[in-house]
Amino acid sequence: MIACDVQDRVARIVIRRAEAGNALTADLIRRLRDVFRDLYASSTIVTLTGDGPDFCLGRDRNEPKSGTLYDAFSLVTELNTCISDFPGIMISAIRGRAHGLGVGLVMRSDIAIASSDATFGLDEVQLGIPPMFIMAVIGDHLAPKHALDAILTGREFSANEALQMGLVSRVVPTSALESGLDDLVAELATRDPEVIRACKSYFRTVGSVPSQGRSAFALVEQTKFAMSKH
């Protein structure tokens, strides 16, 4: 199941399928998509964790097939879009293993905290599948040589290597993962929600502006925001 608790504009989502490494079935993906949609207006901060020893082992490869391949892929696209369109800040806290779609969830987070025992892996190529959903965004996070190494070999890599690559924001001792997440949420909760949303929106938009036009773009956007506050 997907559990979600919202208090004071902070939503805490937990993937609760520990017996299967929190692997996501089609129904769980739909539920996670719908949860994110419901949080757009009510929450400024969302945390995502996995129950038990693992974060998420990706799609459930043992789930009986139903519907068309296009339907299955569309469901993943809808989830990815809902996460990307969330206007607040999404924080993933990763312990244990994050594989496949689990790595995709980490990449689509705005901030990712990993425990020192966390490991990451992209096993799709080993299974004969080009991970195109991952490749759609991995270049925004990893240098090309790091990305292709992870994609083509499918090797499992450590939290410290994920930090060096730029996949996660910080690494903390395993025993400090929950407290580290709580401290970060408490700190961000003191910030003006409108400023948080403006920072995220601007950060995502400015990258598409040609470098020679970014100063002018910043001038316009900064002025617009200041005017909206007065």
Q: Could you report the per-residue pLDDT of 81-101, keeping only the tens digit for each?
A: 999 899 999 999 999 999 999
Distance of CA 78 to the CA centre of its chain: 14
Neighbours of 223 (CB within 10 A): 10
Residue 172 and residue 155: Cα distance in Å, rounded?
Answer: 22
- The average confidence (pLDDT) of the chain is 92
- Both tokens assigned to 32: 């996670």
Number of C-alpha atoms within 13 angstroms, CB side, residue 128? Answer: 1
pLDDT-derived band at 204 (thresholds 50, 70, 90) equals: confident
| Cα–Cα dist 81/106, whole Å | 14
Beta-bridged to residue 98, according to DSSP, are 56, 120
Determine the Cα angle at 86 with ends 44 and 122, to 5°: 120
* Superfamily of chain region 2-188: 2-enoyl-CoA Hydratase; Chain A, domain 1 (3.90.226.10)
For 28-55, the pLDDT digits (tens) are 999 999 999 999 888 999 999 999 999 9
> pTM, whole model, 2 decimals?
0.91
> Average of pLDDT values for 110-123?
96
217, two tokens: 């773009």
Distance in angstroms (rounded) separating the CA atoms of residues 187 and 182: 9
Burial of 189 (0-12, 13-18, 19+ CB in 10 A): middle
Q: Which two tokens stand for residue 51?
A: 């129950």
pLDDT tens-digit series, residues 129-167: 888 888 888 888 889 999 999 999 999 999 999 999 999
Q: Is the pLDDT of residue 67 over 80?
A: no
Strands 119-121 and 157-158 turn out to be antiparallel
Amino acid at 56: C
When mean pLDDT is compared across 57-71, 101-115, 135-149, 204-218, the lowest value belongs to 57-71
What percentage of the chain has pLDDT greater than the value 90? Answer: 74
Is residue 215 pLDDT above 80, yes or no?
yes
> What residue spans define the domains of the chain?
2-188, 193-228
The pLDDT of residue 228 is 87
Residues making up the chain, counted from first to last: 230
Q: What pLDDT shows up at residue 10?
A: 94
